[in-house]
Chain A
Amino acid sequence: MIEIKHITKSFDGCKAVEDVSVTIKEGQVFGLIGTNGAGKSTTLRIMTGIMKPDAGEALVDDEPVYRNVGRKERITFIPDEPYFFSSATPVTMAQYYASIYPAFEMTQFYEWLDKFGLEKTRRIATFSKGMKKQLIMLLSICTHTKYLICDETFDGLDPVMRQSVKSMIASQMEERGLTCVIASHNLRELEDICDHVGLLHRGGVLLSKDLQDMKCNIQKVQCVFQTETDALIGMQNLDIVQKEKRGSLYTLTIRGKKAEIIAHFSQVGTVFFEVLPLSLEEIFISETEVAGYDIRKLIMG
């Protein structure tokens, strides 16, 4: 388990993160969302023991990670701009990784390299940005560490590659219980992979919730009421987060359990109603609006 406890970090008097606390359970994919400058990279660099926080602490399996080789052995960090040695090839980089991480899976690495169509002996400097991202992902996964910390990993990957990488992470989670932390400024990138999401804004945690919990507690309903009076009565006693009307069709985002909402609409005068699946974006909109923020401005631009 990775625990970030009340960390604060300032650069030249400017606070990059302030009193941030998050807990990442084992076997989870934790999405760290935030705009540029929200403090994602700083949080990840503290989490991986690169930086020392000014206050608070970052624990990996109950021990501080900073200057702790034993704990760093359990983490692989993929920075937003990965560094490869000049004139290095995938093979030489793999050898380097193998010298650092004794459990590095060379055979698996070569298999995946073939699968992703990356040449073994080609100089990495000639790779495209996306190819470099793929390569660093492959190298990192093959280290077989317990935790994989990724900073803007999907940035620069085409949709097919993004899906392949996601599948790779999913398979590793299934096979060996990999725990993954993925930081991104784009909510849509994390939609189908995260179990838990933390939203950073201006150096602080705006919210940190389990995606399943969030999905259970908020519903999207489309319905047509028989009369306007039915509509007024039907929307009474509901915790409506968002309401939209097109003709006679209402689209409502309502806080509450699915069963309770279905029961409610069964009893009021509707021509028809159905409960629709909510996107991560919609969930966030509703959640952050509660806190007084407009998520579209924060993340979706």
Chain B
Amino acid sequence: MTSGNSLWVRTKENARRRRWLWIGNCFVFFIWMPIRFLAMCSSLQRDYGTNAGDIFTDSARNLLMSNIGFGNVSSLSSYSVMYSSFTTLLLIMLSAVIAAMEGYSYLYDRRKVDRFHSEPVSCRIRFFSIYLNGFKNFALPYLCSVLLSVLIGGYYHLLTGKMIGYFVGITVFAMLFFLAVYHMAILAVVLTGNYIAGVCGILAFLGIEWAIRSLVYRYCLAYYHTFSSYSRDEIMSPVFSVATIFLQGLRKFAVNGEKTVTALLRQMGSSVGGMLLLAVIALALAYLAYRNRPAEAAGHSMAFGFLKPLVKITAMVLAGLTLGWILSDLSGKSIYIVGIGIFMGVLLAHCIVGIILEQRLSAVFHNLWQLGLGIVISGLIFSAFAFDLTRFDDRVPKEADIDTVAIALSAQQNDSSSYYGDFIKVMVKRMYLKDTEAALQFAAADYFHQTGDNELLDYNNQYDVTTVLYRMKNGKEYYRTYYIDMAAQSDMMDRLLENEDYKKAVFRIYDEDYMAGYDRKQCYFEDVFGTKSLREEEIADLIECLKQDYTSYSYTNLRDEVEIGQISFNASDKNYIDQMSDSYAVYPFCKKTLAYLEQKGYYESDRTLLDEVKRVEITYYVDDDYMNVKTENYEDRAEIEEIISSCQLSNFGTWWKEQNDYISDVYVSTYTSDGNIQSFRVLKAKGIPDFVQKDLEYEAGTQKE
């Protein structure tokens, strides 16, 4: 006779009672994966027919990749992964949570605990028979759905070897993701004693790390002046958030392109390892908790009483700091309002969590010491940020410990708006400055460091929001943001901008393989007279001229000279899928470039805008909400000449100039006979001509400074 205390017998018996879960999963995954895919393929076939076989195959392959592989073949970017995988991801998570709840929630019911725990079945076998059924109820329908989708793909001749490899890898990864969520959900169910607490526990396990990290990030951003938003990844890198680990793994795989099992393992090794470790730890803890869980916990909120204060205080602190941060944002960091927000948040959590934990309304009056402790902890954490108790802003690495630095200027970013991707991110990845002292000079020149103010109060100067990345000799990296008064620190700015390594990092024309490998190459020169396209064979010569001229690239030049125009380089492959664009400012100091452009007929040094302007329009923004606007038009040559002479006749490169150099509320637009319209700023030093002031009833300084 077979013993009742056998894993096989118990699993079989358990499976019999949980058929509905298996049927439900089959229903959902079959509809979502193979049936949906088949329907979409039929629709595609109807749309394209046999005349456009390639288009059908490409589209259907993308559908299949999206269906099984959480992404799309041609545009498997971080965004497409995020959105196309969301539903499947959600289904897997739901399946894991339902399996855990369904399997272990018997622990919430005293009658069921009496039934099962009095039976001659060991704790281990009872736990794992439920566990195996939960996994099986997901794994079989999911695997069958993947297999059916692949078979449908085979029927339509869509499959390639690489795709199959990718499907194998991604399916294993998806199963691992299920296990990690499943184990965490089991742990949450085993630690709690009723459905409300169980659901809260699952949500907490799946999201608490993200919530804490997000809150820390928000507070750092709000209260640390030198905190850089580029430290976000560092702070938000998940350790326990399975969904984020999964998405990051997919993104790593998707962005890097190659889609084979080995590539998947190589690129996603850390994500797979992290998830596996997380799954194992969660399962071990869940089993330990299950084994030691008292039977009398059924119906209570928590299985282990000692966890109650911990859970409640954590929730109170999080709620307090969240409400504090929301009010801080709304009130402009008013310390009193934030204090009220923290108190309200803690109190609210004390009441809600207290009622959930003690299952009675009067719980709001119990354990008031926890309320006090929650307020104290939240207050301390808030103070650590608000008063910088950890001296975060004062922390500057020792020069001896720094290996290299990257210094990314916001002015440079604004000046190179057509640069690819996220300028700062790209910049710091390209820049390895040995001049570490320069970074320390930036730290010392920081506005907040120099003035001791909490807010940027001086709006008269042009401040550069400089991102510095310190790469330490021990391998660690720190991002910092400094507010630099560029004019006041012109020597320091010159030192950086004249640095050869800096130039090589910022300007890709110095790359040996610049524009190499692209099928289509284009170059444009744009100045106040319009945009001209250069011939492809002229590009190499122009780049050479620019490289030579840029040896004179310095802050002083950028500040003192007026930018004449911009050169843009565009390149792409045949299908315009892989594209790049890049632009370079042309200043008077770029003599060789200007001479070359003039020689080729793209630039005329003696051409003046004044000769071509037929009409000038002055726009006066009376107040700073840009609603009250006055305009005047001038066609008289003498007036036009006087107006234009007071303008900086270039729209480029204003980021390097002092904002105080310009009149902030008046703009001049020029209209030429060929329909070219340009808008310019008026130089404060030249001033607005008297007749314009009179016509516009101009009153200086009506806008807020």
Range class of the A interface residue count: 20 to 34
Which chain B positions have C-beta within 8 A of A85?
17
Residue A286 CB within 8 A of the other chain:
no
Check if B9 sits within 8 Å of A83, measured CB to CB.
Answer: no
B295 in contact with A45 (CB, 8 Å) = yes
Across-interface contacts of A51 in B (CB, < 8 A): 294-296
State how many angstroms separate the Cβ of A49 from the closest Cβ of chain B. 7
Which residue, of A11, A96, A99, has the highest number of chain B Cβ atoms within 10 A?
A: A99
A72 lies within 8 A of chain B by Cβ: yes
1/0 per residue B104-146: CB within 8 Å of A?
A: 0000011111110111111100000000000000000000000
B119 contact set on A, CB distance < 8 A: 72, 100
Contact partners of A101 in chain B: CB under 8 A? 4, 120
Task: Note all chain B residues with C-beta closer than 8 A to A79.
Answer: 111, 114-115, 118
Please determine whether B121 and A52 come into contact, CB atoms closer than 8 angstroms: no
A48 within 8 A of B: yes
B115: chain A residues within 8 A (beta carbon):
79, 82-83
Interface members, chain A 57-74 (any B CB < 8 Å): 67, 69-70, 72-73
Q: Which of B457-499 contact A (CB under 8 A)?
A: none
Interface string of A96-135 (1 = CB under 8 A from B): 1001111100000000000000000000000000000000
A137 CB to closest chain B CB, in angstroms?
15
- Asked whether A81 is an interface residue with its Cβ less than 8 Å from the other chain, the reply is yes
CA distance A52 to B292 in the complex (A): 10
Query: In the docked arrangement, what's the CA distance between A79 and B110, Å?
Result: 10
Whole-angstrom CA separation of A75 from B3 in the bound complex? 15
Say whether B1 faces chain A, with CB atoms less than 8 Å apart.
yes
Query: A99, B123: Cβ atoms under 8 Å?
Result: no
Q: Which residues of A contact B10 (CB under 8 A)?
A: 99
Distance in Å from the Cβ of A188 to the closest Cβ of chain B?
Answer: 26
The docked-state distance in angstroms from the alpha carbon of A103 to that of B305 is: 40
> Does the CB pair A69–B2 fall under 8 Å?
no
Contact A96 B13 (CB under 8 A): yes
- What is the minimal beta-carbon distance from B105 to any residue of chain A, in angstroms? 13
Say yes or no: B121 contacts A69, CB within 8 Å: yes
Quote the shortest CB–CB distance from A274 to chain B (angstroms). 48
Kindly state whether residue B678 has any CB partner on chain A within 8 Å.
Answer: no
- What residues of chain A lie closer than 8 Å to B117, measured between beta carbons? 49-50
Residue A77, interface by CB 8 Å: yes
Q: From B13, B17, B295, give the contact of A50 (CB < 8 A).
A: B295
Chain B nearest CB, measured from A164 CB (Å):
24
A100 to B, closest residue via Cβ = B4
Contact residue among A11, A67, A81 (Cβ-Cβ distance under 8 Å from B123): A67
Report the bound CA distance from A96 to B17 in whole Å.
Answer: 10
**Residue B5 at the chain A interface, CB threshold 8 Å:** yes
Are A99 and B9 in contact (CB-based, < 8 A)? yes
Question: Which residues of chain B from 220 to 270 have any CB-CB distance to chain A below 8 Å in the complex?
Answer: none
Q: Kindly list chain A residues whose C-beta atoms are within 8 Å of the C-beta of B2.
A: 102
CB distance from A147 to the nearest CB of B (A): 11
What separation, in Å, do the CA atoms of A96 and B112 have in the docked complex?
A: 14
How far, in whole Å, are A116 and B321 apart by their CA atoms in the complex?
A: 65
Q: Is the CB of B111 within 8 A of A83?
A: yes
User: Considering the chains assembled together, what is the distance between the CA atoms of A45 and B113 in angstroms?
Assistant: 10
State whether A82 touches B111 (Cβ < 8 A). Answer: yes
CA distance A73 to B305 in the complex (A): 31
A99 to B11, CA, bound (A): 11
Tell me the smallest distance from the CB of B115 to a CB of chain A, in Å: 4
Complex contact A77–B111 (CB within 8 A): no
Q: Tell whether, in the assembled complex, residue B120 and residue A69 are in contact, meaning their CB atoms are under 8 Å apart.
A: yes
8 Å CB contacts to A: which residues of B66-118?
109-115, 117-118
* Contacting residues of chain A (36-51) with chain B, CB-CB under 8 angstroms: 45, 48-51
Residue on B with the closest CB to A79? B114
Docked CA distance A85–B16 (Å): 11
Interface 0/1 of B554-594, CB less than 8 Å to A: 00000000000000000000000000000000000000000
Given contacts A99-B4, A100-B4, contact A75 B13 (CB under 8 A): no
Closest Cβ of chain B: how far from A179's Cβ, in Å? 16
For B305, the closest partner residue in chain A by CB is A12
Counting chain A CB atoms within 10 Å of each CB, the highest count among B5, B112, B114, B123 belongs to B114
Whether B120 and A73, one on each chain, are in contact in the complex, defined by CB atoms closer than 8 angstroms, is: yes
Pick the contact of B114: A12, A77, A99, A100 (CB < 8 A). Answer: A77
How distant is B308 from chain A, measured CB to nearest CB, in Å?
Answer: 11
Are A75 and B118 in contact, with the CB atoms below 8 A? yes
Instruction: Assess the A50–B4 pair: CB atoms within 8 A.
Output: no
Does A83 contact B1, Cβ atoms closer than 8 Å?
no
Could you tell me if A11 and B296 are in contact, using CB atoms closer than 8 angstroms? yes
Q: Are B118 and A48 in contact (CB under 8 A)?
A: yes
Q: Are B1 and A81 in contact (CB under 8 A)?
A: no
How far, in Å, is B72 (CB) from chain A's closest CB?
A: 43
- Chain A residue with Cβ nearest B125: A69
The answer to whether B118 touches A81, judged by C-beta atoms less than 8 angstroms apart, is: no
Contact of B111 among A67, A69, A81, A103 (CB under 8 A): A81
Q: Would you give the shortest CB distance from A148 to chain B, in whole angstroms?
A: 12
Asked if A72 and B17 sit within 8 Å, CB to CB, the answer is: no
Q: How far is the CA of A48 from the CA of B305 in the complex (A)?
A: 24
Is A100 touching B294 in the complex (CB atoms < 8 A)? no
The answer to whether A102 and B114 touch (CB under 8 A), given A50-B295, A72-B119, is: no
Chain A residues, CB < 8 A from B294: 51-52
CB <8 Å contact, A83 and B112 = yes
Q: Is the CB of A72 within 8 A of B118?
A: yes
State in angstroms the CA–CA spacing of A51 and B294 once bound together.
7
Contacts of B17 in A (CB 8 A): 85
Q: In the complex, what distance in Å separates the CA atom of A131 from the CA atom of B100?
A: 33
Of chain A, the residue at the smallest CB distance from B115 is A83
Q: Is A83 within 8 A of B3, CB to CB?
A: no
A-chain residues with CB within 8 Å of residue B122 when the two chains form the complex? 67, 69
| CB-contact partner of B109 in A52, A83, A100, A102, under 8 A | A83
Query: Which A residues touch B118, using CB under 8 A?
Result: 45, 48-50, 72, 75-77, 79
Q: Give Cα A79 to B10, complex, Å.
A: 22
- Cα–Cα, bound, A96→B15 (Å): 12
Across the interface, do B113 and A50 meet the contact criterion of CB distance under 8 Å?
Answer: yes
A169-B114 Cα distance, complex, nearest whole Å? 22
Q: How far is the CB of A13 from chain B (nearest CB, A)?
A: 10
Name the B residues within 8 Å of A102 (CB-CB): 1-4
Question: Quick one: given A85-B17, A99-B4, A102-B4, are A72 and B114 in contact (CB under 8 Å)?
Answer: no
Quick one: closest B residue to A104, CB to CB?
Answer: B4
CA distance A103 to B2 in the complex (A): 10
**Interface-centre pick from B2, B109, B120, B294 (highest chain A CB count, 10 A):** B120
- Which residues of the other chain, A, contact B4 by a CB distance below 8 angstroms? 99-102
- A81 neighbours in B (Cβ, 8 Å): 110-111
Chain B residues closer than 8 Å to A50, beta-carbon distance:
113-114, 117-118, 295
The complex places the Cα of A81 from the Cα of B115 at a distance, in Å, of: 10
The residue on A at minimum CB distance from B12 is A99
Instruction: State A102–B3 Cα separation when bound (angstroms).
Output: 6
Residues of chain B with a CB closer than 8 A to A67's CB: 122-123
Q: List 17 A-B contacts (CB under 8 A).
A: A11-B296, A45-B295, A50-B114, A52-B295, A75-B118, A76-B118, A79-B114, A79-B118, A81-B110, A81-B111, A82-B111, A83-B109, A83-B112, A85-B17, A100-B119, A102-B2, A103-B1
Name the 10 nearest CB pairs between A and B, nearest first.
Answer: A72-B120, A73-B120, A83-B111, A77-B118, A100-B4, A102-B1, A79-B114, A83-B115, A50-B117, A48-B118
B contact residues vs A (CB 8 Å cutoff):
1-5, 9-10, 13, 17, 109-115, 117-123, 294-296, 305
| 14 extra A-B contacts, CB within 8 A, seeds A69-B120, A79-B111 | A12-B305, A49-B117, A50-B114, A52-B295, A70-B120, A72-B118, A72-B119, A72-B120, A75-B120, A79-B114, A83-B109, A83-B112, A102-B1, A103-B1
